[in-house]
Amino acid sequence: MNQHRKRIVLYYPRQTDERSGTSAGMDLLPVALLSIAAWPVREGYEVVIIDGNLSSADEAHRRVTEACEGALLYGTTGTLGHQVSDGLECTRRVKARHPELPAFIGGWFASVMPELQLATGLYDAVCLGQGEVTFRELVQAVDAGTSLEDVAGLVLSRDGRFVRTRPRAVVGWEELLTCPWGILDIEPYRTAQLAGRGPGEVERLPAPPGFAGKPFFGISYFSSFGCPEPCAFCSAPGVSSRRWKAMSAERMLDDLCQLHERWGLDALRFFDANFGVSQKRVKALAEGLIERGHHFWWYALMQTDHVAKYEPATLDAMRDSGMYCVQLGTETGDAGVMSAIGKQCAPEVNERAVRRLAQRGICSLATYVIGFPDESEQAMMRTVEQCERIASVTPLCRAMVWPFRPIPGTGMYPRSLELGFEPPPTLAGWGEADSYHLTDQSPWPGQLPPRVAERRKVYEHFAGLAVGVGKRRIGFWGRRAQRRVREQDYRHARLEARVYTVLDAVARRVLPTAPDRRIARLSGYQTSVLAARDRPGAGSAPA
Ligand code: B12
């Protein structure tokens, strides 16, 4: 280690609890931390990023604590779920060994519940929202020994009170540097992915064309911050004030082509909350990749109205440049609920978007939510019915129905509390919030009426078997499931689901290669659904 440079230690918490037998897809790079590291790296600091997803939590925390010896400061991040508890555990260990070391936290969960983070007494400040410039100034302040009160965008604890510094405006890419990829050792991510995927791997990147059953190397990337949509279930409007700032296509192309050359990646997942706000940018990216002769498979999160409105030439260019899968924020199949969410988008647009992608052979993962505050049973059913219609139109879309989860700082949070949602009182409690697709638990009694809960379970079972995303071929059970979803024929569904579960378990026991074949059939969230069913007590058949 360079003796002269001051060291900053950043910890990227584990996405999943290793005791649950699950792990995160290893294409998930610690991009949030790489991004905030950019300015300090440019200004001569040594930045060490330790990713908890690459080892056991204990090993990762030990390494962080060691790296903090003589460091200038420590920082961590996290979104709702296990990252919250793992980040907390790591910081406790760091502070037990280095009580004087300045410690900071940022990211989505800290941004919506800064007080809960500061109440632990572990942190000197919480960074709200976009972090690159705030972190740059924060590092300079710690290094110079000046007051954090002069740094905008922080929450501090002063004399038993929580104090917010001046608000920090969301800045554009001209003030942001490209991620310092050189400080990341990519080999553990590549090696883990090429070693094959375990059955407990969640949030995985769906297999690109030609890779069903074969390992591939993917990375995550982000090219914009924030989201202009007002969605009342999402943290983004509160955290990014509906601002959307994006990297230009030209700059993105330079960076992506360099990464492609350097790392030889097979696939890339854009983690932008709303990738397609500017059609011009997406088209320039797609055409640029083709012109520059860089082909890798790519995946992005998009809004259905963008996909539904784009010119055909843009969608064609997206496909031709390697886009193979889109995660669509479809939200609901009910017009009233769509307007309660705040989105200016008719539910039919969802179906149009899925069709336009499928016509070009592009897969989609459509994410729906039911059980919003005050949502009627009929509205929830309309959502499940839209999913069933989509499944009958194309096997290239997996429409997933998740139960609503109240998140602090969102438009729907106060009403969720009124309706009986009891928030966990501690950080560790928030850390236990499972992924949407891994839970059947309703946040408050009666949120999902029994008829809806039952229909969702049955739909999810058959839809998971019926889709073609990432599959080499659809066999007997898949075809049968397709027919059932298409015709909404759920007769004897529980019995059949149990028979399937038993046969599947026997096949996996008898054929040692069966788990891999099973994984080859599944991809993305489908595998997460499956992993969830494999968890003790979760049950595979609709209960
Ligand atoms: C990509 C994404 C994912 C990815 C990656 C998540 C991850 N941990 O990195 C995947 C698909 C895995 C995922 C999963 C989930 N997600 Co998600 N996801 C997003 C999304 C679309 C973009 C976030 C992102 O990675 N941006 C790119 C990176 C570079 O930026 P960033 O993390 O925002 O970092 C910036 C700042 O936050 C800040 N910063 C971050 N850390 C730090 C640290 C310090 C010290 C400082 C100074 C600054 C700082 O600086 C960075 C640069 O500006 C958002 C937003 C949205 N509108 O939908 C939701 C979002 C983050 N997800 C959310 C949720 C709820 C989930 C799930 C629980 C959902 C589920 N599937 O059940 C899981 C849980 C995952 C987990 N515990 O890790 C919520 C989080 C709510 C909250 N307040 O915590 C969001 C906000 C969406 C929503 N519904 O409100 N998600």
Helix (H) or strand (E) holding 386: helix 377-393
Q: Which of 91-100, 379-388, 394-403 has the lowest mean pLDDT?
A: 394-403
Domain that holds residue 139: 7-167
Residue 195 has which token pair? 């070693």
Instruction: Count helices and strands (H / E) in the chain.
Output: 22, 17
Task: Convert 21-42 to b/e letters by CB count within 10 Å (16 or more is b).
Answer: ebbbbbbbbbbbbbbbbbbbbe
**Closest Cα partner for 198 from 431, 18, 13?**
18
Place of tokens 């769509």: 338
Residue 259 pLDDT greater than 90, yes or no:
yes
Which residues sit with their C-beta closer than 6 Å to ligand 1?
Answer: 15, 28, 31-32, 35-36, 75, 77, 79-83, 104-109, 112, 127, 130-132, 134-135, 203, 222, 225, 227, 234-236, 271, 273, 301, 407, 435-436
In this structure, the answer to whether residues 508 and 450 fall within a common structural domain is yes
Tokens of residue 110, six digits: 């800290």
| Dist. CA 114–CA 131, nearest whole Å | 14
- For residues 159 and 259, state if they share a domain: no
- Please check whether residues 87 and 228 belong to one and the same domain: no
Residue at 510 is within a domain: yes
What are residue 95's phi and psi, to 5 degrees?
-75, -30
Residues 6+ apart with CB under 8 A from 248: 173, 281
pLDDT band at 57 (very low <50, low <70, confident <90, very high): very high
Question: 496 CA distance to ligand 1 centroid (A)?
Answer: 38
Q: For a pLDDT cut of 70, what percent of the chain falls above it?
A: 90
**Residue 539 included in any domain:** no
Domain for residue 188, yes or no?
A: no
Same domain, 210 and 161: no
Once rounded to an integer, what is the mean pLDDT over residues 261-266? Answer: 97
pLDDT band with cut points at 50, 70 and 90 for residue 15: very high
Ligand 1, residue 131: give the atom nearest the CA: 50
Atom of ligand 1 minimally distant from the CA of 234: 90
Q: Which atom of ligand 1 is nearest to the CA of 30?
A: 9
Which residue, judged by its Cα, is nearest atom 22 of ligand 1? 273
pLDDT computed for residue 517 by the predictor: 35
Please say if the pLDDT value at position 542 is more than 70: no
Contacts of 418 (CB under 8 A, 6+ apart): 373
Quote the radius of gyration of the chain (alpha carbons, Å): 23
Q: Are residues 361 and 473 in the same domain?
A: yes
Kindly give the distance from the C-alpha atom of residue 274 to the centroid of ligand 1, in angstroms, as a whole number. Answer: 12
Count the domains in the chain.
2
- Quickly list DSSP for 390-454: HHHH-TTEEEEEEE----TTSTTHHHHHHTT----SSHHHHHTPPPGGG----SSTTSS-HHHHH
Q: Identify which has the larger pLDDT, 197 or 448.
A: 448
Residue 290 falls within a domain, yes or no? yes
Residue 507, pLDDT > 90, answer no
pLDDT given for residue 206 in this prediction: 87
Which tens digits make up the pLDDT trace of 364-377?
Answer: 999 999 999 999 99
Q: What is the pLDDT of residues 106-133, one digit of tens each?
A: 999 999 999 999 999 999 999 999 999 9
Residues 220 and 140 occupy one common structural domain: no
More confident residue, 30 or 540: 30
For 13-22, 23-32, 216-225, 478-487, which range has the lowest pLDDT when averaged over its residues?
478-487
Domain boundary among 167, 182, 216: 167
Give how far the C-alpha of residue 372 lies from the chain's centroid of Cα atoms, to the nearest Å: 20
Q: Report the pLDDT averaged over residues 273-293.
A: 98
Q: Which atom of ligand 1 sits closest to the CA of residue 81?
A: 77
Predicted confidence at residue 462, as pLDDT, reads: 82
* For the CA of 135, the nearest atom of ligand 1: 47
Closest atom of ligand 1 to CA, residue 82: 77
Burial 214-239 (b: 16+ CB within 10 A, else e): eebbbbbbbbbbbbebebbbbbbbbb
Give CA 326 to chain center in angstroms: 13
Q: Is residue 129 domain-shared with residue 40, that is, in the same domain? A: yes
312-359 pLDDT per residue, tens:
999 999 999 999 999 999 999 999 999 999 999 999 999 999 999 999
Q: Are residues 245 and 207 in the same domain?
A: yes
How confident is the model over 46-67, as a mean pLDDT? Answer: 97
For the chain, give the mean pLDDT: 88
Banded pLDDT at 21 (limits 50, 70, 90): confident
Residues 13 and 133 in one domain: yes
pTM attached to this predicted model: 0.91
pLDDT range class, residue 483, cuts 50, 70, 90: confident
Q: Quick check: is 137 in a domain? A: yes
Q: What is the CATH number of the domain that holds 241?
A: 3.80.30.20
User: What pLDDT does residue 367 have?
Assistant: 95
CATH number of the domain encompassing residue 160: 3.40.50.2300
CB 309 within 8 A of CB 338: no
Residues 233 and 284 in one domain: yes
Q: Which of 17, 74, 80 to mutate to test the pocket of ligand 1 (most atoms within 8 A of CB)?
A: 80
Residue 27 vs residue 498, higher pLDDT? 27
Residue 151 belongs to a domain: yes
Q: Is residue 177 part of a domain?
A: no
In a domain, 373, yes or no: yes
Using the 3D structure, point to which of 129, 150, 167 is the last residue of a domain.
167
Question: Are the beta carbons of 90 and 11 closer than 8 angstroms?
Answer: yes
Instruction: Kindly indicate the confidence band of residue 443, based on its pLDDT and cuts at 50, 70 and 90.
Output: confident
pLDDT reported for residue 491: 80
Last residue of a domain, one of 167, 184, 217: 167
31 and 94 in a single domain? The answer is yes
* pLDDT higher than threshold 60 for residue 522: no
Query: What is the distance in A from the centroid of ligand 1 to the CA of 431?
Result: 14
Q: Atom 1 in ligand 1: which residue has the minimum CA distance?
A: 271
pLDDT score of 530 more than 50: no
Distance CA 447, CA 379 (A): 13
How far away, in angstroms, is 107 Cα from ligand 1 center? 7
- The helix (run of H) or strand (run of E) holding residue 196 is none
Expressed in angstroms and rounded, the spacing between residue 78 Cα and the centre of ligand 1 is 7
> Are 238 and 356 members of one domain?
yes
